[in-house]
């Protein structure tokens, strides 16, 4: 597929839209090659920590639901880092009306850890324009203001689409895992307390003395 190519699965509500994300969620990115490298290294460190935590959870026999949620987060993060690490090495540059070539003669478009993440799931369920009685956009927008704020706080007359960002299955796994943890946090953390109490009950108590005093 080439950049921007679309397949409508469910009318205009569910579209396979091919795009490449050079940064994080919602297209946020750290500028320059150093920023891209720092982002990739951060992802690797995060995955390592999550993987270590996941293994320790399984060994402790913690709540299966919580283990599944953390596994989804781990799998999603791993999928994105694989894309980021190898996609630029394996594929050539893709552009509008130009399909990326796999293993091109001159090498891929990027170095190891400098690739882009492929996104394809697009759900523009609501496609409308904000009425004019909404607050108008400020004349001057600060340079540090991220674009994501315009998805959350649209202004009068803006073209509003929900859900605008294009994402992938890995993003879905991370989002679903975090959402379930937030919803069922009381149950999950209650199971941790139960495990701790059971461990304390298994510990042998120190023998009590017979009360005699030796002179």
The catalytic residue among 83, 147, 171, 210 is 171
CA atoms within 13 A on the CB side of 34: 0
Nearest to 47 by CA among 83, 92, 100: 83
In whole angstroms, give the CA distance from residue 51 to residue 78. 10
Cα atoms in the Cβ-side hemisphere of radius 13 Å centred on 157: 3
Taking each helix axis as running N to C, give the angle between helix 64-90 and helix 169-183, from 0 to 180 degrees, rounded to the nearest 10. 160
- Strands (E) in 22-151, as ranges, are 117-122, 126-129
**Catalytic: which of 12, 119, 127, 147?**
119
In angstroms, the Cα distances linking 7 to 118, 119, 174 are 15, 13, 24
Active site residue 119: yes
Active site residues: 119, 171
């Amino acid at each position: 597929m080439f950049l921007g190519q679309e397949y409508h699965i469910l009318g205009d509500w569910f579209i396979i839209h091919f795009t490449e994300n050079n940064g994080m969620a919602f297209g946020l990115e750290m500028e320059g090659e150093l920023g891209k490298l720092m982002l990739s290294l951060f992802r690797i460190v995060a995955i390592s920590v999550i993987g270590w935590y996941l293994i320790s959870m399984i060994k402790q026999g913690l709540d299966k639901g919580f283990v599944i949620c953390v596994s989804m987060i781990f799998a999603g993060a791993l999928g994105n880092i694989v894309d980021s690490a190898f996609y630029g090495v394996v594929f050539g540059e893709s552009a509008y009306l130009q399909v990326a070539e796999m293993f091109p003669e001159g090498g891929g478009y990027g170095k190891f850890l400098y690739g882009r993440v492929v996104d394809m799931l697009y759900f523009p369920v609501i496609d409308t324009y904000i009425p004019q009685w909404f607050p108008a956009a400020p004349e001057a927008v600060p340079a540090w203001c991220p674009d994501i704020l315009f998805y959350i706080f649209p202004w009068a007359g803006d073209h509003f689409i929900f859900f605008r960002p294009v994402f992938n299955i890995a993003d879905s796994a991370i989002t679903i895992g975090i959402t379930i943890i937030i919803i069922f946090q009381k149950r999950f953390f209650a199971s941790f307390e139960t495990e701790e109490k059971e461990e304390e009950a298994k510990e042998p108590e120190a023998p009590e003395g017979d009360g005699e005093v030796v002179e």
